[in-house]
Structure 1
């Protein structure tokens, strides 16, 4: 069973392994998360922001953040610093984590963005979550809350 935790004060146990996995795949976003956390410049602690960890069998399997999207012409959120360790892929971790972030964002605003350029699998994953390609800002994909 996948357990989601809200990360508030410290990066969770197991983050070092997640960071190492990301680095071994050439994915920089976990190093950026670690740096932003250490510098206290990106803690996902402002109104509308969140950082969630996904645990599977008690191990940190993935992480994902939600921040204010400052580049949009309307109130918006951005999914960022999203990563699932290779050993935990294809087990619903990414989908569960993404679903929670999308729900939280769309409870607040009508527009959610993400940058799916980190890996070849990212764009198809986000499109399966309902995002559409969009290059009108510093993002690659958007999801708009449906009216109705």
Structure 2
């Protein structure tokens, strides 16, 4: 596929856009429920990515939501550790550097607040993607990948 055009933006989401339901339906059709959990947690207030250092980003192309991803405090790992969560790219935009650009922006945000970022994934495609983004695979019950941002 061709690279993205110039009408692409990444911005912090203070509210979930209505278009999140389109991505959710696509994710559910692929067997992923994490966007459904995102919407539920956002609506009930249990996780809105609003603690210090946290953010939830949306990537838009010509006004259409094409990808989302969040950065939260990793409550399991403790202070100074962030966690990538709820990263999803619309099917037709995969393989076009969308996910990589979104993860890069999340990591830039993380570097201000965290010395390390962890994540968990359960698909080989996502595992390979995160390796390409500079993460290392780890043998840990609470994470599959980690990226050291600075000495902590």
| Secondary structure at the counterpart of residue 75 of structure 2 | coil
C-alpha RMSD of matched pairs (Å): 1.4
Can you list the C-alpha shifts for 1:41-83, whole angstroms capped at 9, x where unaligned?
Answer: 0100111100000001221001000000111154200000110
Q: Which runs of 4+ in 1 moved over 4 A?
A: none
Q: How many residues are aligned here?
A: 145
CA contact (8 A) 2:111 2:150 kept: no
Q: Distance in 2 between matches of 1:129 and 1:105?
A: 14
Q: Give unpaired runs (5+ residues) of structure 2.
A: 1-5
Q: Is 1:126 paired with 2:130? A: yes
Provide Cα deviations, 1:72-106, integer angstroms capped at 9, x if missing partner.
15420000011001011122210110000011112
| TM-score under structure 2 length normalisation | 0.90
How does 1:46-125 map onto structure 2 within 5 Å?
46-117=51-122, 119-125=123-129
Q: Distance in 2 between matches of 1:29 and 1:49?
A: 18
In structure 1, stretches of 5+ residues that fail to align are: none
Secondary structure of 1:107's counterpart equals helix
